[in-house]
Amino acid sequence: MHMDYRSPFSDWHQAASVRAMPAAGWLTGGEGAWMPEEAGSLLAHPEVRPHARPVAAGLLLASLGFTVSLESRLISPVALDIAAGALRASYGACRDAVVADALRVQCDEAYHAVLAQELIGQVRRMSGVRPPEGEHPFLVHVDQLALTFPAEDAPLVRFCAAVVSETLITKTLRDDWLDGGLQQDLRSFLRHHYQDEVRHSAYFAQLLQLVWPQWTASLRAALRPIWPGLVDAFLDADDAVAVRVLRGAGFATPRACEIVAGCARGQGSRRNASTQLTFHALRRAGAVQDGDTAWAPARGVAR
């Protein structure tokens, strides 16, 4: 029997960023920090502080670039798979609502990518900093993981990756838009993105509850071990990207790795806060069991 589905998008036509933001002219410029400089953070490190402004711009550009890639390469295609019924599961009586909401997710994510790309252009013009090069480690992980499954199962692997990325609400989205010290255009982007992602998190959490029990026992057994790696790949990527940014600011690779690793050791509580919603969604769906919740430790800083 299918679970009752409650759409998180009842106010979408009024509240979604693609509907609620100004039709033009949202980028107004102005002063402000590109990233918060908090105690224990990378920007507060004594060796990094003299380079804080370009490093902050590099970190922001990397984050915005990831948004563009994540939305266009993973979340939007998964949303279209959901709408097309490609998850090998029935939506039952709630099919029309599930499909309409999948298309709303796709619309939102395409708009987030547009906003992120527009903000990238502004940050580059204002800072003179170039984005760090290289594929984002989370997307690399997802691509490599999908190749370890039969081709017909790859859409389901990517759906699982989307569940993780859409339920992991990091501090950047959750809190930083409230920081009055940040540049106003950045705060506007973060606020609208966060408000949309709250709906997306609820959507993907419900959808996992709907489809997971319909998959075969053998498929569920094959997918269950991938959750820790997906969570770690998403959260650990920040450290790998930070190393790239420090290298771009002139730090030698070994020292960049040491600095990032030292700062990362103090971030355990934030990591736990980011994963709470994901754990809850996976448990409710039955995708993990009590014995599965001790995730693999972080793999350290990628070089």
Helix axis angle, 137-147 relative to 154-167, nearest 10°? 150
Whether residue 256 contacts residue 33, with contact meaning beta carbons closer than 8 Å, is answered with: no
Q: How much is the average pLDDT of 196-200?
A: 95
Token pair for residue 278? Answer: 């994901």
Cα 168 to chain centroid, rounded: 7
Instruction: Give the residue with greater pLDDT, 10 vs 173.
Output: 10
State the residue for tokens 């650990």.
Answer: 236
* pLDDT, tens only, 254-280: 999 999 998 876 555 556 667 888 999
- What confidence score (pLDDT) does residue 266 get? 59
Is the pLDDT at 303 greater than 50? The verdict is: no
- What confidence score (pLDDT) does residue 302 get? 36
Report how far residue 116's alpha carbon sits from residue 118's, in angstroms, rounded to the nearest whole number.
5
Whether residue 55 contacts residue 42, with contact meaning beta carbons closer than 8 Å, is answered with: yes
Per-residue confidence band for 294, with pLDDT thresholds at 50, 70 and 90: very low
Whether residue 164 contacts residue 101, with contact meaning beta carbons closer than 8 Å, is answered with: no
Whether residue 34 contacts residue 190, with contact meaning beta carbons closer than 8 Å, is answered with: no
Is the pLDDT at 299 greater than 90? The verdict is: no
Q: Looking at residue 30, what DSSP letter applies?
A: -
pTM (two decimals): 0.91
Phi/psi of residue 113, nearest 5 degrees = -65, -40
Whether residue 16 contacts residue 104, with contact meaning beta carbons closer than 8 Å, is answered with: yes
- What confidence score (pLDDT) does residue 25 get? 85
Whether residue 271 contacts residue 297, with contact meaning beta carbons closer than 8 Å, is answered with: no
Using CA atoms in the order 155, 157, 158, 159, what is the torsion angle rounded to 10 degrees? 90
Per-residue confidence band for 45, with pLDDT thresholds at 50, 70 and 90: very high
Q: How much is the average pLDDT of 94-109?
A: 97
CA dist 123 → 27, 141, 239 (Å):
11, 28, 21
- What confidence score (pLDDT) does residue 267 get? 59
* pLDDT, tens only, 57-75: 999 999 999 999 999 999 9
* pLDDT, tens only, 166-191: 998 766 677 788 788 999 999 999 99
Per-residue confidence band for 22, with pLDDT thresholds at 50, 70 and 90: confident
